[in-house]
């Protein structure tokens, strides 16, 4: 059986637009800080589909609980806890939780203000990711 080709960024964006029109599920978020680190953890309910924001920097991505299919422009993979990888700058993810899943992003930054963290770590939707990443590097 041949797998479908990975989606393009435009296809992922269209899916995100369609998901916004559907009833939204609550995704609890915890924010923790250690010297030089920002740790953001979300708990995704079973059966939820979500898209992630585009990160401007590399970071550690951990699934500590659950089972999830992740789709990016590079391909698809089903991962189960425990799972850890380096999230690349400029990547857009789609996730489907086969069971309740806990995901954590760990960023190197001394910042503790959530609004400033968003501005520092997330690529604005209006600015294409490759251009934003070039600005930061």
Asked if pLDDT for residue 135 goes beyond 50, the answer is no
Instruction: Identify the DSSP state of 124.
Output: -
User: Is the bond leading into 44 cis (omega within 30 degrees of zero)?
Assistant: no
Q: 10 Å Cβ neighbour count for 117?
A: 17
CATH number of 9-126: 2.60.120.10
- Write out pLDDT tens, residues 42-90: 999 999 998 888 899 999 999 999 999 998 888 889 999 999 999 999 8
Domain layout of the chain by residue ranges: 9-126
What is the predicted pLDDT for the residue at 115?
Answer: 93
């Amino acid at each position: 059986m041949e797998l479908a080709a990975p989606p393009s960024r435009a296809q992922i964006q269209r899916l995100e637009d369609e998901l916004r029109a559907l009833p939204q599920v609550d995704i609890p978020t915890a924010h923790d800080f250690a010297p030089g680190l920002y740790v953001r953890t979300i708990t995704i309910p079973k059966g939820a589909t979500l898209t992630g924001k585009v990160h401007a920097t590399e970071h550690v991505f951990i699934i500590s609980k659950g089972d999830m299919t992740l789709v990016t422009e590079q391909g698809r993979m089903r991962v189960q806890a425990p799972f850890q990888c380096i999230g690349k700058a400029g990547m857009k993810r789609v996730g489907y939780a086969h069971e309740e899943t806990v995901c954590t992003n760990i960023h190197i930054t001394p910042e503790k203000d959530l609004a400033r963290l968003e501005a520092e770590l997330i690529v604005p939707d209006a600015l294409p990711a490759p251009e934003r990443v070039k600005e930061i590097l």
